[in-house]
Amino acid sequence: MTAPGPDRTDRRTAGIVVLGLLAGAAALWGAGSAPWFTVGVPTATRGTVSVSATGAQLQPVVTAVAALLVAAVAALVALSGIARRLLGVLVGAGALAVVGLTLRLVAVPPTAAELASARAGLNAPNAPQGVGAVTATPWPWLAVAGGVLALAATVLLVVREPRLPRLGARYAAPGAREGAADTDPDRAAWERLDAGGDPTVGPREGEN
């Protein structure tokens, strides 16, 4: 049984990176739209009402990094080499920030006044005292999971980048592809192998 070739493995890895970034973006966006903490607030006419603040209200970086992940997937089509590695480092730093800030918020929940100030339409000076403990929901953990997933995808991107295909290469003009092969011996060898040639010998005279 013949083992799958390196080119197939590279494409599979690229697909895993893309799926990881998109799944991380979806998790972060969903978590940012959901309530993270709730607290009971007494009112003059309705008694005690439950007030909550979403992840985006408490940690705007969550939805910002979700948008960054989607933009990174689009950038992967055009970038390669050191530029693609730098993109991975940038996106990984954003994902790590989400994980760290969310874990800190879970460990030290906001006070009732902070929760009120984060929620639109409520002012911190008007937040009543003695409204009870602030209750956390499970949604912050979805943000942590999304950040970890995106971080793992970016680590895979940075480590395996030399073996990943340039996703937009198939759409490049023939002359552009030939120029890239001339400047990248590894890519030239793979292209000769795909064409049925022997990558261990140089091109014959007259062969371009």
Q: Determine the Cα–Cα distance for residues 175 and 20; give it in Å rounded to an integer.
A: 33
Percent of all residues in the chain with a pLDDT value above 90, rounded to a whole number: 40
Cβ neighbours for 177, distance < 8 A, ≥ 6 positions apart = 169, 191
Q: Determine the Cα–Cα distance for residues 157 and 164; give it in Å rounded to an integer.
A: 8
Q: Distances from the Cα of 80 to the Cαs of 17, 75, 154, in angstroms?
A: 14, 9, 14
DSSP-assigned beta bridge partners for residue 200: none
Provide the sign of the torsion angle of the four alpha carbons 119, 121, 124, 129, taken in this order.
negative
Q: How many CA atoms lie within 13 A of 14 on its CB side?
A: 22
Residue 2 above 80 pLDDT?
no
Query: How would residue 110 be classed by pLDDT, with cut points 50, 70 and 90?
Result: confident
Which tops the pLDDT comparison, 170 or 135? 135
Q: Determine the Cα–Cα distance for residues 145 and 99; give it in Å rounded to an integer.
A: 8
Q: Which of 43-57, 121-135, 169-183 has the lowest mean pLDDT?
A: 169-183
Structural domain boundaries in the chain: 6-171, 172-208
